[in-house]
Amino acid sequence: MTEKLILDGNRVANDIKEQLQGRVDALSQKGVIPCLATILVGDDPASETYVKMKGNACRKLGIESRRIHLDSSISTEGLIDVIQKLNEDPLVHGILLQHPVPHGIDERAAFEAISIHKDVDGVTALGFAQNAFDYASFPSCTPAAIMAILDYYEIPIEGKHAVVVGRSPILGKPVSLMLLNRDATVTTCHSKTKKLPKLLQLADIVVAAVGKPKLIQGDWIREGAVVLDAGYNAGNVGDVDYESCLAKASAITPVPAGVGPVTIAMLLKHTVDAAEKSIAR
């Protein structure tokens, strides 16, 4: 049996962070400390955990992590006012609004309030458009992580058929565009797609980004496919059934320790990129 390639996200993330360290040190010598402001609205335990993880990752690299915790009763206008103040703060280089936000807040309006120069999580419509035209400074972090993993392991993209399962504006859609910009033929599937297993049988590259635990089964994919699982569900399981897909795939990301660590590494990279660009402006 052909040896399986486990796409180790921790290994990729560590490589990215090692490359960033020298850049952070160089900025520090110029008196610039890269700063990521993270806004958490409400008290969702999962969101609090994610924000804490991002803050810890920043501090380990010498990036300042500024945490803004807002009450769930805040209005959309109040949240936008907080974002505008961060836009105007020259010491803040990146802004991340942890989502989802509580019911009653217009999340899209809040995202759109983030300056394109500080949209390090790639959530604005302008950032999405720049990604579509292949010149985004800060593409959405999870799609960027998926591309980083493919590149790190030198997995060919050009001419391959990629099937993306999921069409969210910060994951499924942007990763479809990024693969298309790298000359893959891309099929984007979603909840209304008919005969999903038959479409997946055609895929050289499978990206699972739908948020349904173990949705994709091993007998749905072709022998030798590359499987990237961007899902993270209760019980530390992804959107693919790992064991059955492992039997068919030539390469696969585990969950956890696959796409997740690289997503955080890309957020750090974008923050450092933004700090460097702030000097040039």
| Residue numbers annotated as active site | 54, 98, 121
Q: At what angle do helices 259-280 and 141-152 cross, to 10 degrees?
A: 110
Q: Is 153 exposed, middle or buried (0-12, 13-18, 19+ CB in 10 A)?
A: middle
Q: What is the DSSP letter of 256?
A: S
d(CA 62, CA 151): 26
> Which residue, chain included where needed, has tokens 């040896």?
3
Residue type, 55: G
d(CA 229, CA 214): 10
Residue 216 pairs in a beta bridge with: 240
d(CA 181, CA 187): 13
What is the sign of the dihedral through the CA atoms of 98, 74, 84 and 64?
Answer: negative
